[in-house]
Amino acid sequence: MTRGQFIVIEGSDGSGKSTQFKLLVDYLTSHNIPFTSHHFPRYEEPSSYFVKEYLRGAYGSGEELGAYKPSLFYALDRFQAGQGIRDELAEGKIVLCDRYIGSNMAHQGHKLASEKERTDYFSWLYDIEYGILGIPKPDLNIVLSIPADISIKLMTQRDQEKNSVKGDIHEADPHHLERSTRTYREICQQFPEDFWLVDCMEDEKLRPINAIHEQILSRLRLT
């Protein structure tokens, strides 16, 4: 049986990641293409315990913990999910993930001051997750890119509509969003064969949602 395709949707908060993920799910469903979907971190699973404690601030602030230690919390959650993903791919299914190692790199790596420190950290995390832990490696990581100020406006509008508040130490920090947006671009530059940057802006305006979706479908060639 032909191995399935492993696809990840990445992007900073407010980039439209959830929307594009849902559109892909709807497309696969409507075309009767066998697939499974996963959202990381998997908050409903015991393997996300340290992630949840970290995000609620139980171990201190993100800056206090640095980049390396929290990265292990997220990596172990993916390690636990790894065998299931391998089985799904072996069955010929498309595996679609909302966030994966790229989120680890962006949301932790931005804490490092210099570009050299960040590139070293990216390489270290690649070795930890794909080498030492042996988690499955995606065929393509799609990174949705949008300026941080636009993301903040969209997130504020979303929170007002839902009458919700920022829930964790990342969402509560606008500087985190600005730096992680920049770091996602650096990741795409360092690993161009693994990460594909999709610019969600055109002429300083947000591109139509369907136009972005069609661009993604064109790259994936699912049918």
State residue 63's pLDDT score. Answer: 86
CA 177 to chain centre: 13
CATH code linked to domain 6-220: 3.40.50.300
143 residue type, one letter: V
Burial string for 83-100 (b: 16+ CB within 10 Å, else e) reads eebbebbeeebbbbbbbb
* Low-confidence spans in the chain with pLDDT less than 50: 169, 172
Q: What integer pLDDT is reported at residue 35 of this predicted model?
A: 98
Query: What's the pLDDT at 169?
Result: 47
User: Two tokens at 186?
Assistant: 């650096």
Q: What pLDDT sits at residue 155?
A: 79
Domain assignments of the chain as residue spans, ordered by start: 6-220
